[in-house]
Amino acid sequence: MSVNLNSIGISGISAAENAMAAIESNIANASNPNYSAESVKLQAVPSFNGAGAGVQILGTVRAEAPYLTNQINSTQSSTSYNQEYSQLTTLAQQILAPSSGNDLSSVMQNMFNALTNLSASPQDVTVRASAIAAMSQFAQANQTISSGLSSIVGNQTSQIQSLVAQVNQASSQIAQLNQQITAANASGQSGAALEDQRDALVNQLAGLIGASGDAQGNVTVGGVPLVSGTSALTLSTTGSGPTLGLEVTLSNGSLPIDANQIGGTLGGLLAGVASVQQLQSDVNNFAGSIASAMNTQASSGYGLDGSTGTALFTVTVGAPIGLNPALNAQNLGASATAGGVPGDGSNASALAALANNQSLFPSIPDSTPVQTFSTISANFGTLVQNATNSQQQSAASLQSLTQLKGSITGVSLNDQLTQLVEYQNLLQASGRAVQAANDMMSFLIQQLSS
């Protein structure tokens, strides 16, 4: 007579012990957001006589929700992108439109008002000095904005190398995990905990650069690989200023990443820097257009000293304007006549009339200087507001997706405690079955011996 101990308890004890070990791990990691609930996968072992030969332990598996994981990574990329873009452009908006209200538009209006006063008192040296001071303030306001925007760009781009280093470190860790997971699977061990770590790192890369990963641990950005199997590629920067970009070093060369495909914090930073640089260009071109028009008008006027052709501003394409250092109360061309006719402020009046000129800015037609600056400010403000709204929406979506995934892959302490009781009961039952088999065998041996 033979007794199949596996069929009556030993394999059941082993299965229960493994299951309880998984439950203990689940309970210990219940508060870990990067942990996926684990369970023991079992398979019935058939017997030739149909009685069954117990169960076979196939291994420990983790709960997964691949579609939700991909959605979370994509949403994380958008959230980080819009957050960085919004923060950077909000700083620029504060420089463009300071809370004090003393922005470029108001300073410009003060300048035109001073020229109107000059047209009424063209020979008054004090009024002339006030007009020059107002023009100087306009130039200084342009310089302050341009300098402030340059500082924002410089401060933000200085963070890029640190972010790139974080990307390379995470990529290297994923490649190492890929190797460890492959080795664990090959030896029949569980790679569940390693896969959780890998998922967390892929999510980190999604937040940093908008990366996405597949089930094998390969990671890409816009189709360009960051991790291929057990190999991590190196991300680096290219160019500087407006041409700043990113590329990945391959074995046979380098492959640039399309700027439009870069998400996460790095994508938001690069896009934000580009928007701030464009704003800086728009503001400098705006001030430059006004300064050039005023120089043209002033060149036909005459000063108190009979001089003519004196420019009001220095203008360099793409750079902020400056007040002409040679300009003074005597050579300011307020008069339209060379004879210095008393009361002739017609050229100063023509300068003041530029405030109503609607043809100075071809890119924004039918707009006065004040209206043009308002358009520039409003368009940039729309960019900031859209980024802020998108960040809030994606953050809410991220929270919802994370909660949904948690309900699938997370640990429910109630479920785990229920299973723990079930397996404890199974252990007790299996133990009794084994004890009964031992008692029966002992009895048979005694009977045969007697």
Nearest one of 224, 197, 202 to 212, comparing CA atoms: 202
Percent helix, strand, coil in the chain (nearest 5)? 60, 10, 25
Tokens encoding 390: 């998108």
At residue 376, the pLDDT reads 96
Nearest one of 281, 290, 282, 288 to 360, comparing CA atoms: 290
Nearest one of 230, 80, 236 to 161, comparing CA atoms: 236
Nearest one of 206, 198, 316 to 261, comparing CA atoms: 206
Tokens encoding 159: 């963070």
Backbone angles phi, psi at 277, to 5 degrees: -65, -35
Nearest one of 14, 54, 3, 62 to 38, comparing CA atoms: 62
Round to whole Å and give the CA distance between 295 and 324: 10
At residue 447, the pLDDT reads 59
pTM comes to: 0.83
Q: What is the pLDDT along the chain (450 residues), one digit of tens a residue?
A: 444 444 444 455 555 556 666 666 767 776 777 777 666 665 566 665 655 555 555 567 777 788 999 999 999 999 999 999 999 999 999 999 887 777 899 999 999 999 999 999 999 999 999 999 999 999 999 999 999 999 999 999 999 999 999 999 999 999 999 999 999 988 888 888 899 999 999 999 999 999 999 999 999 999 999 999 999 999 999 988 778 899 999 878 899 999 999 999 999 999 999 999 999 999 999 999 999 999 999 999 999 998 999 999 999 998 999 999 999 999 999 998 886 677 899 999 999 999 999 999 999 999 999 999 999 999 999 999 999 999 999 999 999 999 998 888 766 666 656 665 665 565 555 555 556 556 566 655 665 666
Residue found by looking up tokens 């990529």 in the block: 171
At residue 413, the pLDDT reads 60
Classify residue 245 by its DSSP letter: E
Round to whole Å and give the CA distance between 364 and 290: 14
